[in-house]
């Protein structure tokens, strides 16, 4: 009876902690969504009514649509470059032996320990110097470079887990059958590493899509959704900005659901 009571107590405690964590994370999100549906012009309680008009106003705003386009562009290119570089770095770090490997691990993982704000300021300093030398200003390109610098170590860590679980004998068997190195990578290595690469790409996109500090430091006058929301809330409050934030949140949820579905597919429905 005592053991049963202890099991019930532990299970209740664990479920209670889980419920508290979910409430802590999702109450602010649902509050944000609720304020985006307010009919009134200001974020006040009680609501004047429920309406979707702010979503309509959002798609009528040329500034908001430009910010959406810029965020999508930066996130797409940052995802492509960081995934490619991070995947190659993960394969090198796990499977190859070379001098300075420890230093390689330290240098590639260093951005993980940097606060985003500090990293953005340091990169801004470098781009300011280079901009004076070569005659360019901060904008979309510098923001993409900053995102790639920040995101690539995360991609490397995620893909490295998949590489550690990879059986190199599969590649040896393909070589024994006459496959070239390129054929081995194209038909064996990359397809078997694909679940990790895809998960890393989704994570990279989400890190770039909602990034504020590095974008704010390096995008110059280019507006993205996070900086547009920040500038709007800084000068006043309107349900328009919760509506934008809600739309920023939706792609993240869809990508997470997609990743979960593909993970179940590749793991045999486990």
Q: What does the pLDDT look like over 68-127, one tens digit per residue?
A: 889 889 999 999 999 999 998 888 888 777 777 777 777 777 777 777 888 888 888 888
User: b/e map of 243-269 (b: 16 or more CB within 10 Å)?
Assistant: bbbbbbeebeeebeeebeeeeeeeeee
Residues 6 or more apart whose CB falls under 8 angstroms from that of 6 comprise: none
Per-residue pLDDT, 123: 86
Residue 83 pLDDT: 93
Confidence check: pLDDT of 16 > 50: yes
pLDDT greater at residue 237 or residue 248? 248
What value does the mean pLDDT take over residues 196-202?
A: 86
Q: 174-185 pLDDT, tens per residue? A: 777 777 778 778
**Which has the higher per-residue pLDDT, 105 or 219?**
219
Q: Note whether 205 and 255 are within 8 A (CB).
A: yes
What is the reported pLDDT for 234? 61
Q: How far apart are CA 200 and CA 210, in angstroms?
A: 16
Query: How far is residue 41's CA from residue 225's CA, in Å, rounded to a whole number?
Result: 20
CA distance 74 to 207: 11
Match 């059958």 to its residue by tokens. 177
Q: Is 103 exposed, middle or buried (0-12, 13-18, 19+ CB in 10 A)?
A: exposed
Q: For 129, how many CA atoms within 13 A lie in the half-sphere containing its CB? A: 5
Expressed in angstroms, the distance from the first to the final Cα of the chain is 34
Distances (CA, A) of 270 to 183, 184, 197, 263: 31, 28, 20, 9
**Chain centroid to CA 160: how far?**
17
The model's pTM is 0.78
Residue 256: both structure tokens together: 């997470």
Tell me: pLDDT of 254 over 80.
no
Find out whether 121 and 188 touch, Cβ atoms under 8 Å: no
- What CATH superfamily is the domain 54-266? MetI-like (1.10.3720.10)
Largest pairwise CA distance in the chain = 78
């Amino acid at each position: 009876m005592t053991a049963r009571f202890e099991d019930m107590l532990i299970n209740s405690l664990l479920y209670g902690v889980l419920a508290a964590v979910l409430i802590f994370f999702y109450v602010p999100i649902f509050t944000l969504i609720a304020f985006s549906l307010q009919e009134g012009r200001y974020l006040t309680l009680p609501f004047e009514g429920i309406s979707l008009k702010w979503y309509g106003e959002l798609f009528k705003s040329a500034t908001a649509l430009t910010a959406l386009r810029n965020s999508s562009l930066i996130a797409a290119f940052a995802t492509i470059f960081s995934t490619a570089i991070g995947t190659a770095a993960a394969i090198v770090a796990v499977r190859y032996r070379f001098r300075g490997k420890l230093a390689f691990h330290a240098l590639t993982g260093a951005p993980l320990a940097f606060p985003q704000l500090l990293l953005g300021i340091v990169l801004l300093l470098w781009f300011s110097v280079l901009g004076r030398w070569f005659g360019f200003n901060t904008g979309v390109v510098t923001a993409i470079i900053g995102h790639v610098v920040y995101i690539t170590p995360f991609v490397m860590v995620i893909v490295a887990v998949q590489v550690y679980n990879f059986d190199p004998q599969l590649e040896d068997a393909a070589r024994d059958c006459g496959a070239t190195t390129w054929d081995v990578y194209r038909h064996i290595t990359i397809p078997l590493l694909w679940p990790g690469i895809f998960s890393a790409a989704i994570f990279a996109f989400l890190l770039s899509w909602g990034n504020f500090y590095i974008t704010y430091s390096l995008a110059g006058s280019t507006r993205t959704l996070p900086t547009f929301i920040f500038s709007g809330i800084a000068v006043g409050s309107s349900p328009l900005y919760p509506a934008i934030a809600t739309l920023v949140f939706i792609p993240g949820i869809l990508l997470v659901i997609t990743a979960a579905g593909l993970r179940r597919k590749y793991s045999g429905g486990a």
